[in-house]
Structure 1
Amino acid sequence: MRFLGRTCLIVLSLLPAVSTQRDGSSVIGSDQPLIASPGEDVILPCHITPRLSAVDMEVRWYRESFKIPVHLYEDRRDQTDVQDSDYQGRTALSRLGLQEGILSLNLRNLRPSDSGVYSCYATDGVWDGQGKTELIVRALGTQPSISMDSTQGEQTWLVCRSEGWSPEPEVIWRDRDGNNVTSLSNTTVQRDSQGLLSVSSYIKIKQQSNVFSCLVKVKHPNQTGNPTPHIQ
């Protein structure tokens, strides 16, 4: 598995690639999640097997709501008037691919909010089939910085900050002896205009005990290796 840009690659789950089978034909998505970075373009795989032209079919990509499609192809054209507004101008189907039963969706300029499970549905009015593909948009944030804040009376705080994450990371504090003292901290999260998250974590300290480390990392372990944490 490769890293894409500053993406931290994490496999969250496996999905059944085939959800409907009828009359000997099936719609197949992907049994492995696709992992990419914000701003990239991806192709969400889906096809009919055995090979069957979908030019005259309805092909619908959607997420939570069947009635609000990510992309809808019907009557031999894209029906952009009913498309989810978050995806307008960012999706496309290959007309040549449809002739071969390839229903794969081109999704451009990825956003963190694009993460999720996508359903690929096709029907000719008699037969129908559906497959699923999961997309994970992961961004590894900046190296954390620690600063001191003494604005709260005589109490001194350490503040650990990192930005550019998707989704929300985990912040772990340890003292000079390696003890986990995260329970003594408070963490706030803010989302920027691009949907990426910034975290600020605060912990009270005593002047005589001034050695702390702050670890910011993804919340789920990578099945194929360790996540790439940031530590200060």
Structure 2
Amino acid sequence: MEVRWFRDDFEKPVHLYSFEENLLETQDRAYQDRTALSPVALQRGDISLHLRNLRPSDRGVYTCFADDGRWNGGGQTEVIVAALGTQPSISMDSTEGEQTRLVCRSERWSSEPEVIWRDRDGNNVTSLSSPTVQRDSQGFLSVSSHIKIKQQSNVFSCLVRSKTPKPDWESKLHISSDFFPGVSGWMVAFFLTFVLSIGAIPLLVIQWRRMDGMNFIIIMRHFI
């Protein structure tokens, strides 16, 4: 009994089983150590192919061909691979002499996702970002998007969304105002206290003038 699973090339099988052995010398290298037929299932006539560690490149039509010397037949099935990437991570990236920027990264997508940036008010600021997409050796996509930040906007969210109807991944980052150089909090408090003190002086003078004349003279003599 021979069982052959292949895609486009009959002579380059995804998996070949013959004479009760797995003959993998001519196997497509892309499937090396990732395929198997169950010996127990074969005894029942089940020649299903087990494919491990799915990759985006595995998507496509597979043909199964069986031949026992007296009878042969085949069939086809389609494999659809849809991988939702990792939760996006946000980090700061700052180099000397350049404006600070945030970088949003997500990996292992089967198709290119959409990246959406929003500021603390919920406004879409994606047009200010620059995305980059790369494909790894297994066919998965990694997306990286960066956006420059200003002191006025200290909360950002990065939404990485599949372009097909699937769940979304979102991450948020709060940037403390202490991160940006500028006027410190105690300086602001001192300035406000000083202004309020100056403004209170005319009110004190008016109140003193309303007091009894003698008392006013006594107070002034005591002050002198």
TM range (shorter): 0.5 to 0.7
Aligned to 2:29: 85
Secondary structure class of the residue paired with 1:82: coil
Query: Matched residues in 1 for 2:124 and 2:6: separation?
Result: 43
1:199 aligns with 2:143: yes
Q: 1:216 to 1:111 in 2, by over 3 A?
A: same
Q: Is the 8 A contact 1:61 1:118 kept in 2?
A: no
Q: 1:172: Cα distance to partner? A: 1.2
1:136 aligns with 2:76: no
Larger Rg: 2
1:183 aligns with 2:116: no
Query: Matched residues in 1 for 2:32 and 2:5: separation?
Result: 13
Aligned to 1:165: 108
Aligned to 1:112: 55
Q: 1:150: Cα distance to partner? A: 3.8
Q: Is the 8 A contact 1:115 1:137 kept in 2?
A: no
Could you tell me which amino acid in structure 2 is paired with residue 204 of structure 1? K
Structure 2 counterpart of 1:229, from 163, 169, 175: 169
Q: 1:228 to 1:206 in 2, by over 3 A?
A: closer
Q: 1:144 to 1:177 in 2, by over 3 A?
A: same
Structure 1 gaps of 5+ residues are 1-55
More strand by share: 1
Q: Is the 8 A contact 2:15 2:24 kept in 1?
A: yes
Q: Is the 8 A contact 2:104 2:145 kept in 1?
A: yes
Q: 1:183: Cα distance to partner? A: 2.9
Q: Is the 8 A contact 1:111 1:137 kept in 2?
A: no
Q: 1:215: Cα distance to partner? A: 1.0
Normalised TM-score (structure 2): 0.60
Query: Matched residues in 2 for 1:115 and 1:231: separation?
Result: 30
Query: Matched residues in 2 for 1:67 and 1:181: separation?
Result: 53
Q: 1:213: Cα distance to partner? A: 1.6
Q: Is the 8 A contact 1:146 1:159 kept in 2?
A: yes
Query: Matched residues in 1 for 2:72 and 2:137: separation?
Result: 43
Q: Is the 8 A contact 2:87 2:169 kept in 1?
A: no
Q: Is the 8 A contact 1:92 1:107 kept in 2?
A: yes
Aligned to 1:214: 158
Query: Matched residues in 2 for 1:230 and 1:204: separation?
Result: 19
Aligned to 2:45: 101
